[in-house]
Structure 1
Amino acid sequence: MKKRVILCLLCLLLSGCGSDSAAAPDESGRLRVVATVFPAYDFARACGGEHADVTLLLPPGAESHSYEPTPADILAVQECDLFIYLGGESDAWVDTILSAAEPKGQALRMIDCVDLLEEETVEGMEQEHEEEEHGLGQVKEYDEHVWTAPRNAAAVTLAIGAKMAELDGANAGAYTAGAEAYAGEISRLDEAFSAFFETLPDRTMVFGDRFPLRYFAEEYDVNYYAAFPGCSTQTEPSAATIAFLTDKVRAEKISTVWYIEFSNHLVADSIAEATGAKTAMFHSCHNVSQTELDDGATYVTLMEGNLEALRNNLP
C-alpha cells in the first residue's frame, strides 16, 4: 500500500513538471548514465572515462532490497541517456521508477548480459516459505548477483561499453577501448582466483549470513553453507539453522565463518564463538560505504580485497 501511494505521488509530481522544471541536458555533451548498483556504476565509469557522467542511484551504504526511490531519483532516470539496473528481485523498486519516469533514453538490464543461475537453497539453509518445499506454487527465481563471478563482470562491462558506443557514436572507439581495458583487468582477477582455488584441497565456506555469491561459488567450484539465499529478506535464522551451521563448522574443522558487507555479523560471531573459529568479511560489491566510495573503491579493488581475505582465511 505504501509503495502504491509513493508511486501515485511521484506520477503527480512528474505530470506537474513542465519543460522548465526538467533537468537540463548536459551542456558538456557527455553521455549521461544512471546505474542502480555499484558494480554497474563502476563498469560504466571505466567504459565512459571523460566522455560520460555516471551517477550511482543507490546511496552509499543503502540496502537495495528495501530501498525506496526519491523524486530526485525519478528525474535522474527520466533525463539520462542510459539507465543500467539489475532486473532482479533485489531492485524490484526500479519498477516504480520506470512506471513513473518513462525514461527518454535507453535501459540495460545486467541480468540480460549473462547466463543466469537459479537461486539455490542448500542443506541447512533457512527457507522463507516452508510450504514451498514441496514445489507447490513455486515460481522459478533467478539469482541476479551476476557480477560476483569475475567472468560475468567482464561480460557485463563489455555489454555496457557496446551500449554506450551505440548511443554516442562520436566517441564509440573510446567506450570500446575503455570496456576492453577494464574487462582485461577483471579477467586477470579471474585468473588469480582460479589459481588460488586450484591450491585448495577443500573449498568449503560457511556464511553466517545471506549468500549472494552463487555465481562466484559456481565459477570456482566452492562448496558453501549459509543461513539464507542471497535475496532473502530474513536476517535472523532459526535456532535449527544456527545449530546446523555450528555443527558443520565443528565437524569439518572450518577455521573461518564469513559474513557480507553491511551485516551486523551477529550470527557469524555466534557460530565462531561456539566453535573457536574466526570471522571474516567477503564483500559482495553490491554497494559500498561512503568511505569506500570517497577512497576510490572499484569492483577490481574490492575483489582483490576478497582474494586477500581468502588467502588469509582458507587453508
Structure 2
Amino acid sequence: MKRIFPALCALLLLTACGPDLPPEDSERPQIVATVFPAYDFARSAAGELADVTLLLPPGAESHSYEPTPADILRVQRCDLFIYLGGESDAWVDTILSAIEPQGDVLRMIDCVDLLEEETVEGMQGGHDHEEGHDHLGEVLSMDEHVWTAPRNAAAVTRIIGQRLALLDRSNGEAYAAGAEAYALELEELDRDFAAFFDTLPDRTIVFGDRFPLLYFAEAYDLDYYAAFPGCGAQTEPSAATVAFLTRKVREEGLPAVWYIEFSNHLVADSIAEAAGVETAQFHTCHNVSRADLEAGATCLSLMRANLEALREHM
C-alpha cells in the first residue's frame, strides 16, 4: 500500500505535463473499471455511447497491482468509477482517500448480498488478512467475488445501466436496454448451469487451487474442497492438505481436479497425478489474458466455456 504514495506524488507532475488521457471535455461519458467483470458489464450496458477503460492490465494480479500516476488521474477524472471493493483491490481506498473523484463511484460488493468466506475441511490453514482467522469454519472476511454467480452478475449489470442512465439522461433508455439485454443473457446462463447440475447425482468438486467461487457454489448447491480460500495468498499447501484432497478425489470418484486461470496449477497437477485423474481449468473471470481481451472475450463467453468444461469433466 505504501508504494502507491510515490505514484500520488508523481500525479502532481503528470497533471502539469498532461498525460495521454481522454480529454476532460470529452462528450462521451468516461467509465473506468478496476477489474474485468466491472469492465465487461459496463461496456455491455454502454455500447458505443461511452468510453470504458479497464484499469487492471490483462493478466495482472489485482491483489498486488500498483496503479500508475496515469491510472490515478483516470480515476479522478472519469464520470463513473467502478471497483470491486474487496481486499483484492484495497489499494483503491488509498487512492480515493488521497484524491477527490470528479464523478460517481460504484462498489460492486454493494450491489448484492454478500457471503462470508470460510475455511472448509482440508483447506490449508492460516490466512494473511489482518481481520481473518485460521480455524475451520470461522469467518475470514466477506467474499468479494460476487460476479461468479450469473444472477449476481445480472444484478450488477442492471445497476451499472441505471448509474449510466443518471449520468447521461439523454441516452438513458439505451443504457437501460443494453444492460437489460446482457442481464437476460446472464440469467439464461444461470438456468443452463442449474439444468446441468440437476442432472448430476453428486455435486462435489475439488480445486487444487484458491477457491474464489463461493457465490457460484452457493447458487448451485455444490460441495467443494480446495487448497486455499478465495483470497488466500498461499501457494504451497501442506502435505496434509494435498493428501486430504487426493483422498477426496478418490473417495468421490471425481474425474478431474480443477484450477483457476493464471495459476501454475502445480498443486492441481500433483493431486491429479496421485489420484490418477485429469486436471481442468475453471475461469473465474477476475481478469483475462491480452489474447482473450483482444479476441472479444466476455464474462458470458468465459462462463459458457466453464459450463462446457464442467459437462466434460464432471
Name the TM tier (shorter chain).
over 0.9
Offset, 1:140 = 5.6
1:24 shift after superposition: 5.3
Aligned mates of 1:27, 1:132 — CA distance in 2: 48
Aligned partners of 1:134 and 1:244: how far apart in 2? 17
Q: Greater CA deviation, 233-242 or 282-291? A: 233-242
Q: CA deviation at 1:20?
A: 6.9
Matched to 1:241, the amino acid is T
Contact 2:193 2:307 in 1 (8 A): yes
Equivalent of 2:110, from 106, 109, 112?
112
Query: Aligned partners of 2:81, 2:127: CA distance in 1, in Å?
Result: 33
CA distance in 2, matches of 1:17, 1:57: 17
Q: Which runs of 5+ in 1 are unaligned?
A: none
TM-score when scaled to structure 2?
A: 0.94
- Select 1:7's aligned residue among 4, 7, 23: 4
Q: Report the equivalent of 2:291.
A: 291
Matches within 5 A, 1:39-118: 39-118=37-116
The one-letter code matched in structure 2 to 1:9 is P
1:231 aligned counterpart, secondary structure = coil
**One-letter amino acid of the counterpart of residue 266, structure 1:** L
Match of 1:255 in 2: 255
Secondary structure at the aligned position of 1:61 is classed as coil
Offset of residue 120 of structure 1: 1.6
TM-score under structure 1 normalisation?
A: 0.93
Residue equivalent to 2:154 = 154
Which whole-Å CA distance do the structure 2 matches of 1:217 and 1:36 have between them?
A: 24
Report if aligned partners of 2:157, 2:183 keep a CA contact under 8 Å in 1: yes
Name the Cα RMSD after superposition: 1.9
Within 2, Cα distance between the matches of 1:7 and 1:260? Answer: 28
Q: Structure 1 residues 93 and 8, CA, compared in 2 at 3 Å: closer, same or farther?
A: closer
Between 143-152 and 99-108, the greater mean CA deviation after superposition: 99-108
Any idea what SS the aligned residue of 2:215 has?
Answer: helix
Report the Cα distance in structure 2 between the residues aligned to 1:98 and 1:117, rounded to whole angstroms.
Answer: 25
C-alpha distance in 2 between matches for 1:143 and 1:262: 20
Structure 2 gap segments, 5+ residues each? none
Contact 2:78 2:102 in 1 (8 A): yes
Match of 2:279 in 1: 279
Alignment partner of 2:281: what SS?
strand
The answer to whether residue 313 in structure 2 is matched with residue 313 in structure 1 is yes
Q: Following the alignment from structure 1 to structure 2, what is the Cα–Cα distance between the partners of residues 195 and 160?
A: 28
CA contact (8 A) 2:11 2:70 kept: no
For these two proteins, the number of residue pairs brought into alignment is: 309
